[in-house]
Amino acid sequence: MEILSALPVQLLHGLVYGMLLFLVASGLTLIFGMMGVLNFAHGTLYMLGAYFSFTLLQVTENFWLSLLLAPILVGGIGILIERFLLRKIHTYGHAHQLLLTFGVAFIIEEMVKWIWGNEPLFVKIPAVLSGSVHFFGISYPTYRLFILATSLVVFAILFTILFKTRAGIIVLAAVSNRDMVNALGINVPLVFTALFGVGAALAGLAGVIGGPYLITNPGMAATIIVDLFVVIVAGGLGSIQGALLASFLVGELQSLGVLFIPELAIVFEFLLMAVILIIKPEGLLGEKG
């Protein structure tokens, strides 16, 4: 069976895409899942990460430096968006946030086309990561395994910070009762701005890593944004473990869908989301309430 021999590699493809999706979604879990800010521009921030890294690579010719600097730049832009735009409307509902971030996304996407052009850009990856790894009779690109490793490291760090440190406790408390934590003498608006910055920086990091894999192009924000919201909602709002699980499922569903029923591959993730929302509206690992 030809299809079955392709299965292990296809499963691995699904895992890699799923984990990259998680890397982008982890930032949105903080911003949308926890803070409740419906940030449509999250995909755009991820795209910015990819483009910044392209230019940084041209200037510094050092992938690792761009891996450090691009997320910081994107995080800075995130902080500006939160501080000067979103904070002003935080008492309104989701529709306001959605339209505002639509506007931000329109502007950034148009600027990206203006500065870097409409053509896809190819980003060189460092020599260490450009080969292949052989295991169990499979030969697999090292770079994709690097994506996998980075996402798992980010998950571990986020999980530890959120649940094991004082900073994490403050964030969780501020999310669950903003006024009370504010009254206890913690500068909650500052916490939220910082959280938004971290979320944006994670999107930027995902962009740097995803750019060489999914090809840096002006449409990359639009292609990922729907997957992102599927992951966040199917996983359960604000649950970082849920986002990991849902990312894995969406990645594998797309990958296996392409292998077995290519005509309907695009529907599977929505089928997954619909089933989850109908049976368990709070999401896979979401809490009731």
Partner 1 sequence: MNRKILYQLIVLIVLVILVFMPNLISEYKLNLIIRMAIYALFAVSYNILFGQAGLLSFGHAAYFGMGAYTTLFLFKHVKMPLILGILSGGILGGLLGLVFGIFVVRLGGVSFGLLTLAFNQFIYAIAEKWRPVTGGEDGLTASRPDMYIPGIGEVEMFSTVHWYYFVLITVLISIFGCWYFTKTPLGRLNLCMRENEERTRFIGYNTYLSRLIIYVLSTFFAGIAGALASSFQEFVSTSFINLDKSAEVLMMTFIGGGGTFVGPILGACFLIYINDLLSTLTERWAVIQGAIFILLVLYAPRGLSGLAEPLTKILDKTGEVQRA
Nearest CA-CA partner of 147 in 9, 13, 6 = 13
Are the beta carbons of 11 and 60 closer than 8 angstroms? Answer: no
Q: What's the rounded Cα separation, in Å, for the pair 236 and 74? A: 26
Nearest CA-CA partner of 230 in 61, 29, 16, 82 = 29
Q: CB of 99: closest distance to partner 1 in angstroms? A: 5
Nearer Cβ to partner 1 (111/169):
111
Nearer Cβ to partner 1 (8/281):
281
Nearer Cβ to partner 1 (4/278):
278
Q: CB of 277: closest distance to partner 1 in angstroms? A: 5
Q: CB of 111: closest distance to partner 1 in angstroms? A: 7
Residues near partner 1 (CB under 8 A) are 38, 85, 88-89, 92-96, 98-100, 102-107, 109-111, 114, 226, 229-230, 233, 237, 263-264, 266-267, 270-271, 273-274, 277-278, 281-282
Are the beta carbons of 241 and 29 closer than 8 angstroms? Answer: no
Q: CB of 266: closest distance to partner 1 in angstroms? A: 5
Q: CB of 101: closest distance to partner 1 in angstroms? A: 9
Nearer Cβ to partner 1 (69/105):
105
Give me the half-sphere count of Cα atoms (radius 13 Å) on the Cβ side of residue 202: 26
Nearer Cβ to partner 1 (74/105):
105
Q: What's the rounded Cα separation, in Å, for the pair 104 and 94? A: 15
Q: CB of 288: closest distance to partner 1 in angstroms? A: 12
Nearer Cβ to partner 1 (14/238):
238
**What would the DSSP string read from start to end of 96-158?**
HHHHHHHHHHHHHHHHHHHHH-SS-B-----GGGSSEEEETTEEEEHHHHHHHHHHHHHHHHH
Nearest CA-CA partner of 45 in 193, 209, 203 = 203
Q: What's the rounded Cα separation, in Å, for the pair 255 and 152? A: 20
Q: CB of 183: closest distance to partner 1 in angstroms? A: 26
Nearer Cβ to partner 1 (17/40):
40
